[in-house]
Structure 1
Amino acid sequence: MASLNSLSNTYRPSASTMQQWMLGLMLLSLHGVMLWGFDDPLQKGLLLCHYGLFLIWQPIWQTKEKLSAQAILLFAAGGILLATFVSWWLLAIWLSALFGLLGGRIFSATAQASRLSYLFAATYLLSVLLLWVIPHLLGADTAIEVAAFLMFYLLPILPLVILFLRVKQETHQHAPILDFFYTLLLFLLSVTLILSIVTISRTTEADYAEVVVWVVFGLAGALVLASWLWNPRAGFSGIGQLLSRYLLSVGLPFERWIKNIAELAERETSAKEFMHAAMNEVETLPWVAGGHWQTEEDEGEFGAQAPYHADLEFHDFHLTLYSRWPLTPALIIHLKLLTQILGEFHEAKRREEALLQNTYMQAIYETGARLTHDMKNIVQSMNALCSAAEQATEADNDRLVALIRKQLPLLNQRLALTLDKLGAPRNEATRMLPLLEWWDNLQQRYNGTRISFSEIIMMDSECKIDSEVWDSVVDNLLQNALAKARQEPEIAIHAHVVMNEQVFVEVTDSGNPMPDDVAASLFRKRIRSEGGLGIGLYQAGRQAQQAGYQLSLVNNQPRQVCFRLAMK
């Protein structure tokens, strides 16, 4: 007894093996019904046995739960109808349905043995249909006599092979998926085959075998032609592409609707206005009765409610569409695609608004930073005058008064221009001065400091520059050099102006060079530095570039660090 229990526990057939056994027994019982008839109660009992085996094997009802009362009544009614109204016509339709189900299972089976068993079963059903069932429908006694040997001795081999074919467990754990499209296609083809043979045989006096050959080859040619037209060809997009386009657009030209939405996105300036206009486009769809939409900032309704609806969502965009007709799977896919397109455009408009806001805030920040930079330079120039006044003696009073009389109006003018930028930052007035006059004012402001000045003048005509920009930039360079001198007391600072084929001013110090990574990004982004370099030079570089000048670091060697402000 223990050995029997251990044997039963050792061998447990897999689900794939049980499916194959049910398939083989189902086909054997069906073969017995077709051979022995279905008039006697015993023969109808065999037919019901075949129906029960089909219910165990069938690939449609895949559930491990208990059957409901409705399902039990449905299956029982199917068996009663099959046993009561059984005929050769009903058997022909039944074989066509089995052929379609088996064909749909062929493409979902992963194990090669399972696929072979389904191929054997489909071959058996098609052979029985052509050799036995259709001749009985037509009363073709000659064809029945010819096929009797095959029915009694050869065709039963196929169900037996299926019954004893060794099948491995499927690689997937879930039940095989039934391909509905292939199942329906094969069922329609088999029904077309039956009706074509019956129609041609009844309307002509051709032999049954000849009719079968003509119909089979005719259907094969039609399938070859359909497969040739399915793929795109020169000058023709193909039936497959046309069908896919129709399923996606659901009767509406998809390209036209997308073009309208894209034009709305270009025309409307805000995400709110775009969404209101886009909902008007959605309302024009023929299968849309109304809807309700909602975003983080706004919501709205259009049209009227209907019995059928779909709730769709993409990021923060929620859309409920109402339709007067049931929503098919193809329409649901279409709605999801349209919702994603609207959500993407809405998100793009929101990003555009955020970018404009960030640009506006950046302009405000840069204006404030630039004004702060200018105020710092003015204060530093005033500190230079105050330092000169503190260090002046009684003998220097006349020179000090002359310096203050000349520099204070310039500082006052620079301060007034800086304050004017606060009121109208976009209407900045430039103050053009001859370069030599500006150079003289610069030397007077830094008189008494450790900065040395020189010039190389080889031009006869006077060159004018924007004194406001040059004051701001060069003051920043000189103040940075003086700040660097407090850390490195031994360095020398030199400034000189060149008026030749090129016009520029250079500020050079003999201190340590800047690190290479700082020098590479000096005028392109903000750089934090303990010595104060980076932020001011970034603003100075932007200011010079906007005014049409160029600020650059021309030398960064030990004891030779040189900045240049040049005219382009």
Structure 2
Amino acid sequence: MTPTSPTSIAMQASRFAMASRQQWQLALMLFSLHGLLVWGIGSELQTAWALFHYGCFLLWQPVLHGREPLTLRTALILLGGGIVMTMFMSWWLMAFWLCLLFSLLGGRIFSLAKTSARPGFLLAATYLLAMLTMHVVPRLLARNIDTDALMVLVEYGLLLLPIGVLFTKAEHGDARQALAMDFFYTLMLLMITITLVLGCFAIATTTQARYTEVLLKMIFALAAGLLALSWFWNPRAGFSGIGLILSRYLLSVGLPFEQWIQSIAELAQQQRTPASFLSHAIADIAQLPWVEGATWRLGESEQQLGKPSMHLHELQFHDVNLTLYSRWPLTPALTIHVKLLTRIVAEFYEAKRREETMTQNAYMQAVYETGARLTHDIKNLVQSMGALCTAAEHTAASDQERLLALIRKQLPLLNERMAKTLTKLQSPASETRNTLPILQWWESFQAHYPQLGIVFETSISANPEVDGDVLDSVTDNLIQNALAKRSSQPGLAIYVSLSGDHHYTVAVRDTGSAMPATIAENLFKKQVSSGKGLGIGLYQAAKQANASGLTLALKENREGAVWFTLGPQQPA
């Protein structure tokens, strides 16, 4: 068994003490009410009993939070209630007071989380209803209870109900839960009890019937009315139900809800920016008959529509502060309606914001990919120029003519590649493919790397058309990585081969050390960190190859044989 901590024991004890105190306060309020009704009204102690009961009610009342500071307005209301209770005491006042207490207890019963705590409140509600119908209403009709037994029952027998409240199980909870109350049921019970009192009074005064008969007629009439209401509340055959009609009314005060949804959806499709959508949506709200104007702040900008009025309602959603001005104070139904409308606008507005963000991200992604591809091409151009410079540095004086011929041959090619790169930079959308026979490309490509110790091998039986720019870019990248690897591993041999037929394969192989497994696993999937240039270059090269229908792969990765292949994608 898990031991209970001292803190938990103290909290449980505090909750139990608070719940017990609430039961005592309720019972004391009922005792004081009994004394006022039975022995107080019309006696010399009437004012004392009234003040005593009102004080007990303030101790028990379930409306105000005990921890909240008492405002001047609340204090004046409480003081006014005490003055009315003492200065204007009458049986009519007590009848409406009992109706109010009964409705407060009824609303509390429906809001209880645990049914085990309901018996105490049920006993208290039974006492209030019994005193109302058996003692207060007959006094309104100036009729006494028919028998002495009923008089004894009212004066002494009903006291058993408040005593029973003391022995019922209390609800353990915090102070805030003790204040929970169902407003709808409270209002409904208040209207039912007032209808019961006024109905009994009206029937009894007009028909001169016995009070017991009148009371039974009113009770059965109210029961029949409630039964019919519950029957028609839910949907029936051919009838949508009162509950659904009420919900439609709450959702459609001022304009049909379906029409509003359709209008907002059309605005979301027509307007391109969130700010424009918001302006048109608020303009639609401002056309409602009860709206005088609106002001909204979006970031640092503030806009206004219509004119302000003394009745304003401030709403906030996401980064928008909206103030609606109405022609008259809003009812609770209209308040719910306004919040619903603005919530729908908020969701569509946020959707437009996300759409704008995604469009911007897609644009930035396109710019990034274009820049990365062009950077990759420029890097290859620089590396090709570096190869020419290396050839110039290692050429003997006797081979100057061969060097000059090589430069004359390579510079136009480099100039052509530079011009194509600049064209891509200026207008990426107009990029075209440069197709040529693969043997022609192969011959031109071998001339890019003179006197660098690279072995070129050819065994191809066909001469298909290929995209020379893509082959140049990807193969250049593989060779430059191998050359960078040779700088730290002297004696490394580099082989470049062209083999196959229409399904050709360009392979770049070196005899250096193998790549780490972690790098090889993610080589073409994402950027990898490497001190020798492996990573982002091959990542971009693989994306460029895939976009052109080619596949760049690491065929072999072991000591003395690191082998990359480039060729057309094979059908699945």
Q: Which amino acid aligns with 1:554?
A: K
> CA-to-partner distance for each residue in 1:284-322, whole Å, 9 max, x for gaps?
233321121111253211000101112333343222221
Match of 1:219 among 217, 222, 240: 222
1-structure distance, mates of 2:406, 2:184: 97
Are 2:312 and 1:309 equivalent residues in the alignment? Answer: yes
2-structure distance, mates of 1:190, 1:123: 13
Q: CA 1:557/1:124 → structure 2, altered by over 3 Å: closer, same or farther?
A: same
2-structure distance, mates of 1:401, 1:187: 108
- Residue 5 of structure 1 is matched in structure 2 by none
- Residue 421 of structure 2 is matched in structure 1 by 418
Please tell me whether the aligned partners of residues 111 and 171 of structure 1 are also in contact (alpha carbons under 8 angstroms).
Answer: no
SS of 2:554's equivalent? strand
SS of 1:426's equivalent? helix
Q: CA 1:468/1:31 → structure 2, altered by over 3 Å: closer, same or farther?
A: closer
2-structure distance, mates of 1:14, 1:429: 85
1-structure distance, mates of 2:393, 2:379: 21
Match of 1:173 among 149, 172, 175: 175
- Residue 118 of structure 1 is matched in structure 2 by 121
Q: Which amino acid aligns with 1:74?
A: G
- Residue 434 of structure 2 is matched in structure 1 by 431
2-structure distance, mates of 1:502, 1:528: 33
> Which structure 2 residue ranges, 5 or more long, are not aligned?
1-15
2-structure distance, mates of 1:338, 1:366: 42
> CA-to-partner distance for each residue in 1:474-517, whole Å, 9 max, x for gaps?
11111111211222234332222233352331212233332333
Are 2:383 and 1:377 equivalent residues in the alignment? Answer: no
- Residue 554 of structure 2 is matched in structure 1 by 553
- Over the matched positions of the two proteins, sequence identity in percent amounts to 48
Q: Which amino acid aligns with 2:423?
A: D
1-structure distance, mates of 2:82, 2:49: 16
2-structure distance, mates of 1:383, 1:56: 93
For residues 33-44 of structure 1, what are the structure 2 equivalents within 5 Å? 35=38, 38-39=41-42, 41=44
Are 2:277 and 1:274 equivalent residues in the alignment? Answer: yes
2-structure distance, mates of 1:56, 1:388: 101
TM-score, scaled relative to structure 1 = 0.82
Q: Which amino acid aligns with 1:551?
A: L
Q: CA 1:347/1:183 → structure 2, altered by over 3 Å: closer, same or farther?
A: closer
For residues 394-543 of structure 1, what are the structure 2 equivalents within 5 Å? 403-459=406-462, 462-500=463-501, 502-543=503-544
Please tell me whether the aligned partners of residues 131 and 143 of structure 1 are also in contact (alpha carbons under 8 angstroms).
Answer: no
> CA-to-partner distance for each residue in 1:42-64, whole Å, 9 max, x for gaps?
56765665455445544446567
For residues 46-61 of structure 1, what are the structure 2 equivalents within 5 Å? 46=49, 50-51=53-54, 53-55=56-58, 57-60=60-63
Please tell me whether the aligned partners of residues 318 and 346 of structure 2 are also in contact (alpha carbons under 8 angstroms).
Answer: yes
C-alpha root-mean-square deviation of aligned residues, in Å?
3.8
Match of 1:104 among 80, 83, 107: 107
TM-score, scaled relative to structure 2 = 0.82
1-structure distance, mates of 2:108, 2:180: 7
Q: CA 1:257/1:384 → structure 2, altered by over 3 Å: closer, same or farther?
A: same
Please tell me whether the aligned partners of residues 17 and 166 of structure 1 are also in contact (alpha carbons under 8 angstroms).
Answer: no
For residues 190-269 of structure 1, what are the structure 2 equivalents within 5 Å? 190-198=193-201, 209=212, 212-213=215-216, 215-227=218-230, 229-230=232-233, 239-269=242-272
SS of 2:80's equivalent? helix
Q: Which amino acid aligns with 1:566?
A: G
> Which structure 1 residue ranges, 5 or more long, are not aligned?
1-12
- Residue 4 of structure 1 is matched in structure 2 by none
Please report how far the alpha carbon of residue 77 of structure 1 lies from its aligned counterpart in structure 2 after TM superposition. 3.5
Please tell me whether the aligned partners of residues 101 and 183 of structure 1 are also in contact (alpha carbons under 8 angstroms).
Answer: yes
Please tell me whether the aligned partners of residues 292 and 326 of structure 2 are also in contact (alpha carbons under 8 angstroms).
Answer: yes
Please tell me whether the aligned partners of residues 493 and 509 of structure 1 are also in contact (alpha carbons under 8 angstroms).
Answer: yes
Are 2:135 and 1:129 equivalent residues in the alignment? Answer: no
> CA-to-partner distance for each residue in 1:347-390, whole Å, 9 max, x for gaps?
44444444444444443343333223222222322333444455
